[in-house]
């Protein structure tokens, strides 16, 4: 079971283990989901860049993380999931995918349908997620292909 690290100081980072040629598995990191002042400032990008450099310096062979399709609303994401396109923009690729449990899939599907129908305010999702959701919600209403991906999760990987 991976150890969850909430925050580390510089001296604590130095104590973390070096790789034995394995991928480093990250669970999650979030920046300002409830405070839009932090959106679009490049903080998450800087964190990924720092993590990749840190792992490379310690001889990790790569980094892996779980991701959700971008159509999954923020409030329906599991705490261990990142968004697929955000990871892809930093050089990650899909290594494997699987379907989520039926209960989780139902929550995701119902959330998307509520947004499309207007019974859940789009802004609730957009404020707690990332730029681009306005266009994404419009696309969901026009294109039902979201139903092919909402119930998947991906293991994403990035070589170092």
> Does residue 5 lie within any of the structural domains?
no
| Rounded distance between C-alpha atoms, residue 28 and residue 38, angstroms | 17
The answer on pLDDT for 6 being more than 70 is no
102-134, pLDDT tens digit by residue?
999 999 898 888 877 777 665 555 545 555 566
Range of the domain at 56: 20-159
Which pLDDT value is given to residue 133?
Answer: 61
- Over the chain, what is the mean pLDDT? 77
**For 13-25, what is the mean pLDDT?**
73
Please give the sequence-ordered ranges of beta strands (E in DSSP) within the chain, or none if there are none: 23-26, 62-68, 82-83, 93-99, 152-159
Q: Enter the tokens of residue 50.
A: 């720092």
For 15, residues 6+ apart whose C-beta sits below 8 A from its C-beta are none
Is residue 71 within 8 A of residue 113, CB to CB? The reply is no
Is residue 86 within 8 A of residue 44, CB to CB? The reply is yes
Q: How far is C-alpha 13 from the geometric centre of its chain's CA atoms?
A: 23
> Does residue 133 lie within any of the structural domains?
yes
The answer on pLDDT for 13 being more than 70 is no
56-88, pLDDT tens digit by residue?
888 889 999 988 888 887 777 776 677 888 889
> Does residue 73 lie within any of the structural domains?
yes
> Does residue 110 lie within any of the structural domains?
yes
> Does residue 120 lie within any of the structural domains?
yes
> Does residue 132 lie within any of the structural domains?
yes
Q: How many Cα atoms sit within 13 Å of 127 on the Cβ side? A: 7
In 3D, which of 68, 107, 99 has the Cα closest to residue 86? 68
**Percent of the chain residues past pLDDT 90, beyond the cut:** 21
| Rounded distance between C-alpha atoms, residue 154 and residue 83, angstroms | 10
Number of compact structural domains in the chain: 1
> Does residue 14 lie within any of the structural domains?
no
> Does residue 3 lie within any of the structural domains?
no
């Amino acid at each position: 079971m991976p150890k969850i690290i909430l925050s580390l100081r510089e001296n604590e980072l130095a104590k973390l283990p070096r790789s034995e040629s394995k991928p480093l598995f990250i669970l999650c990191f979030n920046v300002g989901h409830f405070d839009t002042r932090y959106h679009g400032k490049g903080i998450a990008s800087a964190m990924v860049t720092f993590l990749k450099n840190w792992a490379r310096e310690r001889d990790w062979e790569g980094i892996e993380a779980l991701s959700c399709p971008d159509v999954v609303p923020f409030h329906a994401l599991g705490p261990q999931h990142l968004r697929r396109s955000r990871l892809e923009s930093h050089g990650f690729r899909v290594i494997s995918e699987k379907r989520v449990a039926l209960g989780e899939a139902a929550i995701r599907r119902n959330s998307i349908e509520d947004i499309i129908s207007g019974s859940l305010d789009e802004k609730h999702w957009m404020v707690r997620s990332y730029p681009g959701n306005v266009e994404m919600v419009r696309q969901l209403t026009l294109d039902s292909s979201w139903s092919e991906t909402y119930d998947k999760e991906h293991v994403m990987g990035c070589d170092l």
